[in-house]
Amino acid sequence: MDFVRYAERGAQLVNHAMGGADDLADLLADRDWLVPRLADRDGRVLRRFQRDLRPVFEAASAGQEQVVVDRLNALLAKHPVTPYIAGHDAESWHLHVSDKASSVADLLIAEALLGLAVVVCDVGATRPGVCQAAGCDDVFVDTSPNRSRRYCSERCSSRANVAAYRARRKAEASAQGVSA
């Protein structure tokens, strides 16, 4: 299992706009084998889960480690993970985070929660975060070696850096009495 990828998929889930079935299919673009299994219930369950999971990222951004752990534990209790061993022969055994009877929503929730729980335990409760770029509230999982990630994407990072550069240039020009 790639727990970091599961945690990052949890962030994608929180960030994903979900209005209808097409939105869910878009979320699963890289996992097209799940699309035929989608049911109406999945959308409702995942929208509710989005609202429940976002506070984990917000608490992590605020440095509230105990709140992160408490919220994740509450979500794990509400959405129990039921892993099972799968494979075609003795050489390919691997774990899945939910059993074959699980809905798509249950699978995505199990992946997100288990991934975030492992990330929190292995690298720290402040690794989930909320983008610090002005006008963006997307969430992310910081996998950088020095815990330095502040933005959800390169695009937000670039926009924030350009804005900071322009603000510095304007301040320098004002200090020199030149209009920018």
Instruction: Catalogue all structural domains in the chain, each as residue range(s) with its CATH number.
Output: 3-126 (1.10.3300.10)
Single-letter code of the amino acid located at 127: R
Model-level pTM?
0.85
Q: Measured between alpha carbons, how far is 156 from 138 in angstroms, rounded to an integer?
A: 10
| Rg, C-alpha atoms of the chain | 20
Q: Could you tell me which residues are beta bridge partners of residue 141?
A: 128
* pLDDT computed for residue 50 by the predictor: 96
pLDDT tens per residue, range 36-82: 999 989 999 999 999 999 999 999 999 999 999 999 999 999 999 88
